[in-house]
Amino acid sequence: MLIYFPELHEELVAEKIKGAALFDPGIDREDKGDIPVFRPDSLPVEPHMCRRMVDDFVSYGESLGKMFKFIASPPSNDKDQFGERTSAIQNELNARLSPDADSESSEAAMIQNQVVLALVYAYEEKHLELLEIEKSLSDKWSGFGESLGIDEDEDERKAMALGELISNAPGVGGSSLQLPWQKVLEGFALLLPEKTVLVTSDVDAVAVWRDLEFDFFENEGLLPEKTTVLREKVWKLLGLSSLPEDRPWLDREFTIALAPGKA
């Protein structure tokens, strides 16, 4: 099975590959795009509950800010990989889903990783919404300038200033988004079935792996076109110095295929 990495939205996939699917973290979204969606049967949180939790986080400004900060932070070997134990996310998980569960149990880890991926989905969704608002306002400003007889240079300058203002919103940088590939990879390591191949166009992740001097090799037959791939353990792909004792699932190996043209 081929899964796009780290994008969870079709609009963010730069290179579409025949046979590849988007991962669905279980938020009961509409499947109306051209790219198929894969939702594992083993996800512990039901879609209605997962969506409600994400909506609750996003509905509060403070929680949203924490969400952006948490998602953007890289993983570490520290035991507390999900942020401070007093964070809104951890408290909400403990209160709503498994108040009596051992925090080190496999079920708790699956719940945490699923909800984190759902928050990443919301993070991407927010970015796409802001881009749509930016485009709409820029178009309206352009029409407004024409109606007032503002010269084109001035109109363009105002539109750019407006776009810059919107792009400074949390988690957004211009028309591009730095995807939190480390968080996605952590979740994928636990939630995706064996023999899953990740297909990526993410330049940030690939740059890190090249800096770490992983072995890339040519492959024919994995994708419709000849491509470059690597295979490595997840904890090494994350740039960790060793396998964290509390996250044994990071010892899993993934085959990652670079989308054609991204080698």
31 domain residue, yes or no? no
Rounded to 10 degrees, what is the CA torsion of 174, 204, 43, 253? 180
106 domain residue, yes or no? no
Instruction: Please give the sequence-ordered ranges of beta strands (E in DSSP) within the chain, or none if there are none.
Output: 2-5, 20-23, 37-38, 197-200, 217-219, 227-233, 253-258
Tens digits of per-residue pLDDT, 2-40? 999 999 999 999 889 999 999 999 986 666 678 999 999
Structural domain that includes position 149: 124-167
In 3-state terms, what secondary structure has residue 71? helix
189 domain residue, yes or no? no
142 domain residue, yes or no? yes
Q: Higher confidence at residue 166 or residue 97?
A: 97
**43-57, 107-121, 170-184: segment of lowest average pLDDT:** 170-184
For the ranges 23-27, 99-103, 229-233, the maximum mean pLDDT occurs at 229-233
Kindly state the percentage of the chain with pLDDT values over 70. 62
The yes-or-no verdict on residue 249 having pLDDT over 80 is yes
pTM over the 0.85 mark = no
| Cα separation, 251 vs 198, whole angstroms | 16
222 domain residue, yes or no? no
pLDDT at 165: 41
Tens digits of per-residue pLDDT, 110-155? 988 998 899 889 888 888 887 777 666 655 555 555 555 555 555 5
Q: How confident is the model at residue 234 (pLDDT cuts 50, 70, 90)?
A: very high
15 domain residue, yes or no? no
148 domain residue, yes or no? yes
Residue range 166-179: mean pLDDT, rounded: 51
72 domain residue, yes or no? no
In 3-state terms, what secondary structure has residue 173? strand
Number of domains comprising the chain: 1
In 3-state terms, what secondary structure has residue 40? coil
pLDDT at 130: 78
